[in-house]
Amino acid sequence: MVSKIVEVSAWSAVVVMTLSVAACGGDEAACAGANANNNCAEVDAAVPSGCTSSAECAAPTAVCDVGGTATCVACTAGEASACTGTTPVCGADNTCGGCTSHAACAASDVCLPTGACADAATVAYVAPGGSGTTCTQAAPCNKLGAALMTDRPYVKMTGTINDQVTLTNQTVTVLADPGAVLTDTTTGILMKVDGASQVSIYDLTIQEALGGTNAGLSLQPGNTAMVRLERVAVSGHAGAGITMSGGTLTVTGSTVSGNQGVGITASGGTLTVTRSTLSGNQGGGLDMTALGVVTLTNSLFHHNGNNVTASVGGVRLQPMAGSKVEFNTIVDNQAITSGSTSTGGVFCDVGTFVAVGNLIFRNTGGGANVQTVGVCSYGNSYVAAGMSATDNTPMFVKPSAPEFDYHLTAATPPTILNAGGACTGDDLDGDTRPQGGACDLGADELVP
C-alpha cells in the first residue's frame, strides 16, 4: 500500500511540474508560485540592466546615474556632494576631481593647492572696502595685516589691497583671486618675512612699493623662514623685486619684472627658481652675492641690467654643493663694460660647477667674454662666443622687438633641438619634457 501511494505522488509531482512549465510559455495565470502575481508574463519578461537607484551602488562608485547611463558612478550633477576631500568637484564625466579655481568651491570660495575646498572657518578674508574686524567671508577685512592677526591658516585676497606687513614666526598660505594686488602708496618694503615663518603665496601680484631702495618681498637678516611663491608677479619696485638674507625661497611659475634694482638678490640661504621669468629688472636678473645653494631650472632671463650701472645682466651666482643651473634661456641681458666680474650673461666662479642644457647668447657688456665670466663650465649648453649681439642661432619665434617671443620653432637647428639629453621637470610653459628623444636646450621644449 505504501509503495503505491509513493508512486502516485511522484507521478502527480511530475504532472504538476510539466503543466507549470507549459503554462509559463503562454498561460499568464498558470505560473503558481512563480512570483507575487503568479504571472508567467512577468517571469518571461527581460530583466532590466544597470542600476535604478544609488542604494544599489557602493563606493567608490556609490551613485546611480539614473537619468543617464543607469550605471554606478562616483557622482552626478544631482549628487555632486558625493565628491569630498581633495576631489570635491564632480566633472562632466561623473568622476570626482580636485578644484582648479576658487569659484568651484561654492561654500568657501577658496580652492586650496591640494585641490580641496577650504572650510570657510579656517580662512581670513580680505577685500577692498571691507569693514569687518574678524575677517570672515561675510565681513572681510580691508588690510592683509588684520587677516594675518587672526592666525587662521589661510588668507584669501580679492582686489587691490594697500598694506605693508611683517610676518614673524607665522605659518600661513595666502591665496589670491585673479587680479588681486598687494601694493602701497608710501615708502617701505611691502612684505617682510622673519624668524621661522613658513609662508606660501599663490596668484598674487606684489607691486609698486615707492621710494628709496625698497623691495617688494624681503626675507630678513637672520631668518630661517621658508617662503614659496607660485604664479606670483613681483614688479615695479624702486629697489629689488625680492631680497633674501638666508632662509629658503622657492619661486615657481612666477614673474619678477620691471624692478629698478635686481630682480632677485640673495646674500645667503637656499634659492630655487623654476619655470619662471625674470625680465626688465634694471639692476640685473638674479644676483647671489654670497655662497649659497641655488637651483635655476626651466626659466627665462631676458632684458635685465643696463650699460650704465648694472654689474650683472642675466645671472651672477656662487653655487655651493648641491646647486643646479640647467635648461635656462639667458638672452638679451646687458651690463656695464668695466669690472672683472661684470657680465651681460652669467657670472659663475666655482671651478667644479657645471651648468648644463642652457642657452646663453646675445647678451652685451661686461668683460672679455660677455656671455659667461668665471671658471664654471657649461657642459652641453649653447654659449655664444664674444659679443654676438646679433646671434639668432636658436631661431626663436620672435627674437626682436616688440614681442620678443623666445619659444623655439621647427627651424631651430639640431644643435639646439633634442641636444640636451635628460632634464628635470616641465618646461617654462608647463609642457612635458622631453617631447623628442632628448630635451631641447633652454627653457622651452618645442611641442610638435
- The string of pLDDT tens digits covering residues 315-341 is 999 888 889 999 999 999 999 877 666
| For residues 287-291, average pLDDT | 86
Res 438 pLDDT > 70:
yes
Is the CA virtual torsion 276, 168, 159, 152 positive or negative? positive
- pLDDT computed for residue 67 by the predictor: 86
Which of 173, 230, 177, 233 lies closest to 197 in space, CA to CA? 173
Which of 211, 306, 308, 206 lies closest to 257 in space, CA to CA? 206
pTM of the model: 0.85
Which of 276, 290, 281 lies closest to 240 in space, CA to CA? 281
- pLDDT computed for residue 5 by the predictor: 39
Could you give the CA distance from residue 304 to residue 307 in angstroms, rounded to a whole number? 10
Res 95 pLDDT > 70:
yes
C-alpha cell of 405? Answer: 617671443
Could you give the CA distance from residue 157 to residue 163 in angstroms, rounded to a whole number? 12
Whether 226 contacts 248, CB under 8 Å: yes
Whether 237 contacts 282, CB under 8 Å: no
| For residues 137-162, average pLDDT | 97
Whether 248 contacts 274, CB under 8 Å: no
Whether 76 contacts 96, CB under 8 Å: no
| Of 18-32, 111-125, 346-360, the least confident | 18-32
- pLDDT computed for residue 137 by the predictor: 96
